[in-house]
Structure 1
Amino acid sequence: MSNATATQSSSPQETILLVNPSTAIGPIFIGNAFNWMFMGLLIMQVYNYCRKFPKDRLMIKILVFLIFVLVLMQTAFGTHEAWWFSIQNWGNVLALQGGSWTTVISPIMCGTISAKVQIFYAFRIRALRRSVIPRLLAILIVLLALSQSLAAIIGSLLLLESLTQENLIRLHPLFTLWLAGRFSTDVLITGSLVWILQTSKSTSRVSQTDSLLNRLILNTIQTGTVTVVCAGIALALFVKYTDRNYYFAFAYILGKLYSNSFMATMNSRVPREPIQRSDSIGMRIQVSRRTDRDLDGVQLSEPMDTSRDTLANWQTTTESNAEHMPAPKKHHDLTTHTDVLRKTRSHAI
């Protein structure tokens, strides 16, 4: 299979895909390999969630398993597309100028998954700081997430009418809007979370609180930077190299990065019941790795209203232990409710 000269389209900067297996099939093969690797990580994340949060709210469970099912479908569609190009149509030069029906489905699945995760982070931003600016940022994030997902769906449906390179070049601005919207939304989410946490840190005067906020900021930057960098590279390659499939290697794994980032956030919470009793030993076992000292006194610059928070599981271990302690008896000795809590804190492992 020899290289063919790219056919020029109406725009001098946009060329039709080169008939070259290394630039047409290679990125799809690499993207599919990494796609399965991140799928294994996601399965472990979901398993840990089921083990740690069996009594989570129904809406949260529905969101977790809905995203997991969508990611499974996206993995299956991506594998079929890789099979179609590299095995089923091996040696067929004309097949590289078209594509299978799963080529169209993959952007729809990826746009839907990313929109759900981005909207989830928008609600987290609104819950962390209930003031005007965070609410406006949350609304803007939701609008951008829905816009990029809608652009991916419309572009894919229009491409399904004619799976040709000429039609893809005609729809190039619409798919560029999808990738650009996804990139800008990720930047806005990461910047908003870092800003809120950094503002809370500047108003806190407790060293333990500063240490915890530093870890949260670092975790936000790590998870946010991965999606931002990957989305930015996919956007740049799609705009720059219209005659090559380089962007496929990054577009394939974006759905996995969003879902793994979402599950990492879910699993970082403190379980509702962090204490388990062992009858044989007669002691309490602390399940959560976080201690009371780590979370004691942690509060943002504005109090959080957990009654309206969709994820009200973020609570300190002291509060969770207090819920499982019997009410102190009212008598005339010097034991008070505060003493009970202090004893609970001193005996927790």
Structure 2
Amino acid sequence: MRPHWTLILSGAGIILPRVSALLRFSCSQLVVERLDPLVNPGVVGSPHLHQIIGGNSFNGSMDPSTLDIPGSATCTTCTFAEDFSNYWTAVLYFRARNGTYKRVPQKGNVYFEEANGGMTVYYIPSYNDTPVTAFKPGFRMITGDPTIRTQEEAQRFRQLTYTCLQDPMTRTGETLDMPKKPCPAGIMANLRFPTCWDGVNLDSPTHSSHVSYPLNGTFEDGSPCPSTHPVKIPQLFYEIVWDTTPFNSVSEWPEDEASQPFVWSYGDATGYGNHGDYVFGWRGDALQIAMDTGCNGFQCPGLRYQEIREGNKCTKRREVEEDVDGWLTELPGGMPVTGVDGKPIS
């Protein structure tokens, strides 16, 4: 059944005003896999583990010169059937006192509880009805940096945060680092991508220099784009709810009360290295049409809605055969765990 609501929740802790063409939808998990076609194209067995959602044409290379993403995909995990894009982040692990690791599963967000993990995706054009240019075929980008381990470095990226969920509706108290106390309803990672484009390049060597955050402030402030990146693009925004509740017993947390037990699959025990990847794959002009019409969350007259249970059926076989779900003696790929200033954690 489709969810019903009249107000859209924002990860910024406010109720979003009614804006034209705001999309909020669910994408179930496609695969948990050590592949990264942006940072490690063609490599089967990238350095760290990712959880991927979207179309099943996802693979280790995703060469934009040869791959027609929507044309190659046969299904999508997303509730808008025209969306064969791929969205991915790292995977969260619980580190026990004995040094072993257990993967933390994702769970469905508010109104999308029946989703098989995955995440909630937003596309927001503007808060003042300013037209935006939808992403083009071949467009891809990354926000955040997995090597960051300090708050000062993390502040270079705007609004990559965590919410300690007191209940599923919590949308306040965002932090740049991992929550230091057990969260009653899990931890939500919030990733907001840049909203300005140079208007020329669909990608760049860093996968981020062709896009920019607004000149100052945030997207919600309505700040203009810098002259180097004058084209306004939709605000792409991920919410990922990690079900940390099975690990809420403080008796299993580090004895050092200043520490917390969750680490990212790239070895980050601080949370400051929060990052996400995106490869555009909407069919035809569907996204531009959606940005130009009166959509409200999952309700969009220009798009075809797919029930969550259908998206749950779209999966992909893992290419790297390894245990990612049992109690592990090390993170997949052997990633070392580091804390503040990159210092190893034994």
TM-score bucket of the superposed structures, by smaller chain: under 0.3
Structure 1 or 2: larger helix share?
1
Structure 1 or 2: larger strand share?
2
Q: TM-score, normalised by structure 1?
A: 0.21
> Is the radius of gyration larger for structure 1 or structure 2?
1
Instruction: Report 1 or 2 for greater relative contact order, CA contacts < 8 Å, sequence distance ≥ 6.
Output: 2
